[in-house]
Chains A and B, each alone.
Chain A
């Protein structure tokens, strides 16, 4: 057994464990923390596949930013302990059924296919170097420019809709404008009134 296989087994079994904890733990904050762990562990799995860039991004974006958002939402909703209500039990058998079917399908595919499949099926990708990051960047900025710009539009739409849905301007707020404060001249503030001469 080589070290990669051992690492894979350790991290993937931990990943399964934390993922189960995400959906079963009754405290939402604990769920969120477990989600952080599972992101982290899947980043390691990606690293084992050689996708360095994606694993770093997973940690940077998901653990760094998305999880902050999750925690904010959890705090915003102010749920302490989610109660396992009747619906949870009612839909549990259905959920387990779907889980089993999905897993049988996936296992069926992956056991059978990865021994027979033609690995050269993925052929039309330009490769410029050994490094995953460089290849990714090269493909993204040559073949997929249009897709990349559309991603920009999606992000812009994200900004617009986040602001439109959550932001309320409070008209009673008072602001200081430093530029105007500096710009003040003596004659703006001081009015010399000449006294009336008798």
Chain B
């Protein structure tokens, strides 16, 4: 079984090698002559007003957490789809109920307006 994944391992090793070679080549052969002005962020010629990091709205977080929940639903769908012909009607109905429960959650967030960005 594991040998089916060997190409991925080789691919990973090659990618790592390639990236290292590229980066180190740039680092070794490229000239580097830093000073304060070059290192500071360019902001239309002004002195930077503030840090480039800023507080994110909590709504990003809400969207991300709602995404995770439906992502997990998909995670359950994978093994279900694979064994659908072994688990019979009970297994089918089990997934139907599961999706129904999450559907209620989806209706809730839609009606509440949690999906709207305004």
Binding site for B on A (CB under 8 A): 3-4, 7, 47-48, 50, 52-53, 56-57, 60-61, 64-66, 68-69, 72-73, 75-78, 80, 128, 130-131, 133-134, 136-138, 140-142, 145, 148-149, 151-153, 155-156, 158-160, 162-163, 166-167, 169-170, 173, 175
Q: Give the complex CA separation of A142 and B94 in angstroms.
A: 9
Q: Which residues of the other chain, B, contact A64 by a CB distance below 8 angstroms?
A: 71
Do A80 and B51 touch (CB < 8 A)? yes
Summed over the interface, the residue pairs from A and B with CB atoms below 8 Å come to a total of 151
Q: Which residues of the other chain, B, contact A170 by a CB distance below 8 angstroms?
A: 118
Q: Give the complex CA separation of A144 and B61 in angstroms.
A: 32
- Closest 6 interchain pairs by CB? A137-B79, A141-B91, A159-B105, A137-B83, A152-B101, A152-B98
Q: Which residues of the other chain, A, contact B118 by a CB distance below 8 angstroms?
A: 170, 173, 175
Do B83 and A141 touch (CB < 8 A)? yes
Q: Which residues of the other chain, B, contact A155 by a CB distance below 8 angstroms?
A: 69, 72-73, 101-102, 105
Minimal beta-carbon separation of A13 from chain B (angstroms): 15
Does B60 sit at the interface, judged by CB under 8 A?
yes
Do B102 and A72 touch (CB < 8 A)? no
Do B79 and A133 touch (CB < 8 A)? yes
Of chain B, the residue at the smallest CB distance from A47 is B5
Sampled A-B contacts (7; CB under 8 Å): A61-B68, A65-B71, A137-B79, A141-B95, A156-B104, A158-B65, A166-B62
Do A142 and B105 touch (CB < 8 A)? no
Q: Give the complex CA separation of A138 and B87 in angstroms.
A: 6
Partner of B66, one of A57, A152, A162: A162
Q: Which residues of the other chain, A, contact B109 by a CB distance below 8 angstroms?
A: 159, 163
Q: Which residues of the other chain, B, contact A152 by a CB distance below 8 angstroms?
A: 97-98, 101-102
Does B55 sit at the interface, judged by CB under 8 A?
yes
Do B64 and A65 touch (CB < 8 A)? yes
Of chain A, the residue at the smallest CB distance from B55 is A78
**Given known contacts A48-B2, A76-B56, A159-B109, A138 and B104 CB-to-CB distance under 8 angstroms:** no
Minimal beta-carbon separation of B101 from chain A (angstroms): 4
